[in-house]
Chains A and B, each alone.
Chain A
Amino acid sequence: MNVQEIVAKADLVVDASGLGCPMPVVRAKKGIDTLQSGQIMVLKATDRGSLKDVPAWVQQTRHTLEEVVEGDGEYIFVVRKG
């Protein structure tokens, strides 16, 4: 699946591009709180730490990381709300 397809099927897209640690997970939390269980949030980030931090955040918050797409200095995380 390409990035556009992923974004198109998301219930919510949260763009944390350009934000440093810890803002990507802060924005992720704020975003996912607006969704229902089972819905999909796409999180975009450029912070290099987010590659490890978003999976750690998902682990602690009992959501599911469905996919990670990396390219052009941008990371796209597809998270299903638990």
Chain B
Amino acid sequence: MAKRVAIIASGGGLETAYKTFNIALAGAAMDAEVAIFFTFEGLPIVHKQGPSMLKLKPENEPMAEGFARTNVPPIDQLIEAAKESGIRLIACQMTVDALGWKADDFIDGVEFAGAATFLDYAMEAQVTLNF
């Protein structure tokens, strides 16, 4: 059976974006199918204004310097790499509607769907994660 990784990104802040894309990209590099469901506070990660909306939590601000020192790539580069790797980016339609956002507000390549779509995919996954 093909390897499959199913990830929910529901947490807030830049931290969630890094955690999510780090594992997602490693999974894709290891020849797994990867899909990420962005919901609740995780939804801004795939918003066009994501880079300006996502901040580190105050207690994690010292990490910014460490990220720079260790050449951790900016989130937009990780998203580009994710799209190149064929990682599915699924925005939670319910959260999109609840926030009054529109499909055009999101980066290219994002799909819009709900819980059942994610679960239909995740039922066949060997690895499921929530960040």
Contact = CB atoms under 8 A, between A and B. Distances in A.
Q: A and B bound?
A: yes
A29 B27 CA distance: 11
A78 interface: no
A60 B71 contact: no
5 contacts: A21-B26, A23-B73, A25-B25, A56-B30, A60-B32
A33 B26 CA distance: 15
Contacts of A23: 25, 73, 81
Q: Is the interface of A mostly helix, strand, loop or mixed?
A: helix
State which size class the interface on B falls in. Answer: 10 to 19
Interface of A: 18-23, 25-26, 28-30, 47, 53, 56-57, 60-61
B71 A25 contact: no
Contacts of B84: 30
Nearest to A61: B31
Contacts of A20: 67, 70-73
B128 interface: no
A22 B22 contact: yes
The 7 A-B residue pairs with the shortest CB-CB distance, nearest first, are A29-B29, A60-B30, A22-B26, A25-B29, A20-B72, A20-B70, A20-B71
A49 B91 CA distance: 31
B30 A61 contact: yes
Interface string B23-56: 1011011111000000000000000000000000
A77 B27 CA distance: 20
Given A22-B22, A26-B85, A57 B30 contact: yes
B71 A26 contact: no
A61 B32 CA distance: 9
